[in-house]
Structure 1
Amino acid sequence: MKDTYTFKKVLLPVDESIFSKRAAIFAGKFLRYFSKELSELTILHIIRPGYLTTHKKRVDLRVEFFKKTELFKKLKDEFLNEKIKPFLDTYEKILKDSGFTAKISKRVEEGEPGNRIIEILSKEDYSTVFLSRRGIGLTESLVMGSVSTKVVYNTRKQIVYLIGEKFSEEKEISNLKILIPVDGSEYSKKAVEHGVYLVKRIVKKIKEVKLLRVINLDVYYERLEQGIDPEKEAEETLLVSRKKFLDEYIPDKLIHTQILIGIPSEEIIKEIKENAYDLVILGRRGRSPLKDLIMGGVSSAVIYNCKEPTIAIINL
């Protein structure tokens, strides 16, 4: 199994919201099964610019040189110890109480959260980032500058997990239903590889893995005109994907396949909503969010129309 698809070093950005708490609980319960191969999980909190003006009204931060004074450093340390360290310690406890045993580090940075996370991911050797979701749509997130949207569309080498609303503090990692849409592209092949990696390690926690091939209606008729059977072509794609699981001795009874004909994004969303999947693994083509919105990209459509499942975005 290639390192590209594995958990090696994980970044967990957090704030004090219930959404971050959900992401931390999921990370702890899920990643405990991968603790032996994880080198480190970093709990990251990013302080937005102007944080001291909010908490220390008496300080005029418009004076740039003040930031270099001993008083500023003292106030900053006070703020970190009083406001930040306690909730980072709480997240560390959540992870450990969930059974996570790999190394945990805590890190505080300053800046605009989305941009700072992207910068860290581009410069450092994190394999995966776990992000909370706040349940807003793509158009809204583009206008508001959603952190998760920025990270998903500006990450090129990491796996991004968006933790869904279906997961709760009481829910354990068991009887998982996983959906992996496939189309034979390099992007979907990477999604399958990550799925194999996961299932092989937590096979006893899996109820079903469905490999879904949606044949675009226009492509369907084009293939027929070319004398190609599109359904047979789809079956071959599914067989290749299914074989990757079987080659790793994953029980064939867990791996199901299905072919649908229609508009891919619509059919995948319908499948997710009707069958209550816990995890959806998607390969992403690397388009910008605006281009995805205009062109009707599958990954964007699924992310912003399916809030319940956790979604893993596999980037090239």
Structure 2
Amino acid sequence: MKAVYATDLSAASEAAIENQTCLECLDRVGVDTFHLVTVVPSNVHSGMPGMDFEQQRKRGLDRYRTVMEAAGFDVETHVVRGTPHRRINGIAGAVHADMTIVGSRGQSPLENRVIGSTARNLARTTVVPLLVNRVERETEEPDVIHEHLFERVLYATDFSENAERAFDAFSYLRHATEEATLVHVRSPKDAVDEEPDPTEQLEALETTLERWDIDTRIDVRSGDPADEILAAEAAANPSTVLLGSRGRSRLRRLLLGSVSEAVIARAAGNVFLVPPPRNA
């Protein structure tokens, strides 16, 4: 598997990239090649006094390359110019990446400012699964919040086609997953009498995971989907929340539904977001 790892060379980004346990988890799920990407903003140019951003970033990427190659990965580096999320998505498409990874500071008192603009824009536009790797806030030497990225997974589903696609990610995540919580939230808008029993549907998924020796529990809730998924995260303390980036909405222009956007912005831990197929 190929992974695009986006970095701004900040302390938070370095903490995620150089964490050996995180690298081991990515190796276990099948990642063998990294494309390290950093983007120099279009409004910054080398002619600015004292500014040699491209060379500085190349040296930073070379340092990360050494760490990753020592861990057994093949690594390519990319220093590019432009709008960060567009260039990162472009490289992911060009190299046929299987996932994109971006480090992000953890929770902030301002919920709508929890993740940076690049992470948020990637979440809205990514064409490959996106891992938002949470890093501690408000410390000069931050560390990742969960080293074992996929050890405990909370999977949130509305039983839509793209939620099923997100569940399919267990086909490779299972090599690093020991526990899973399967969550479905009954919205007040659901026509309960017409809906299949969510417990039965979750139990079918539970059977699949238990065949892979993943200790699984189910959690059916009622209320606002985003709030209840976040409450389930607080109760289960997973290392990663897994969900699709589009649920039942048929508005194709909304690549990230309101539930997914709220979860990725407000979750305490990592989020693994699976988008629709590229031609959807």
TM-score range, shorter chain: 0.7 to 0.9
Which of 248, 258, 261 in structure 2 is aligned with 1:297?
258
Question: CA separation in 2, counterparts of 1:171 and 1:260?
Answer: 25
Aligned position for 2:129: 159
With normalisation by structure 1, the TM-score equals: 0.72
Give the one of 97, 102, 107 matched to 1:126. Answer: 97
SS at match of 1:54: coil
The change in CA–CA distance for 1:39 and 1:93 in structure 2 (over 3 A counts) is closer
Structure 1 residues 197-234: Cα deviation after superposition (integer angstroms, max 9, x where no partner): 212x125xx2x200111111231xx333xxx5x5x610
Task: Say if 1:170 and 1:120 are closer, same or farther in 2 by CA, change over 3 A.
Answer: closer
Select which of 192, 202, 206 maps to 1:223: 192
Matches of 2:69 and 2:8 in 1, distance apart?
18
Q: Confirm whether residue 236 of structure 1 aligns to residue 206 of structure 2.
A: no
TM-score, normalised relative to structure 2: 0.80
* 8 Å contact from structure 2 (residues 245, 273) kept in 1: yes
Q: Which residue does the alignment assign to 2:28?
A: 33
Task: State the match for 2:39 in structure 1.
Answer: 46
Unmatched runs of 5 consecutive residues or more in structure 2: 137-141
Percent of pairs with identical residues: 19
Q: Which residue pairs with 2:62 in the alignment?
A: 89
Shift of 1:265: 1.0
Counterparts of 1:120 and 1:161, CA distance in 2: 16
Larger-Rg structure: 1
The C-alpha deviation readout for 1:123-174, integer Å capped at 9, x for no partner, is 43111100111456675589xx811122111123x00000113693696428
Gaps of 5+ in 1: 1-7, 58-75
**2:233 matches 1:260:** no
Measure, in 1, the Cα distance between the counterparts of 2:166 and 2:119: 19
Q: Distance in 2 between matches of 1:111 and 1:154?
A: 16
Maintained 8 Å contact 2:114/2:265: no
Distance in 1, matches of 2:34 and 2:133, equals: 16
Q: Name the counterpart of 1:16.
A: 9
Match of 1:173 in 2: 148
* Match for residue 189 of structure 1 among 143, 158, 164: 164
**TM-fit CA distance, 1:56:** 4.3
Contact 2:149 2:270 in 1 (8 A): no
Conservation of the 8 A alpha-carbon contact between 2:151 and 2:239: yes
The size of the alignment, in residue pairs, is 263
Report the residue type matching 1:21 in the other structure: E
RMSD, aligned CA: 3.2
Tell me the amino acid that sits aligned with residue 47 of structure 1: V
Q: Distance in 2 between matches of 1:171 and 1:196?
A: 21
Asked if structure 2 preserves the Cα contact closer than 8 Å seen for 1:141 and 1:149, the reply is no
When residues 292 and 120 of structure 1 are mapped into structure 2, their CA distance, relative to the original with a 3 A threshold, is closer
Paired residue secondary structure (2:164): helix
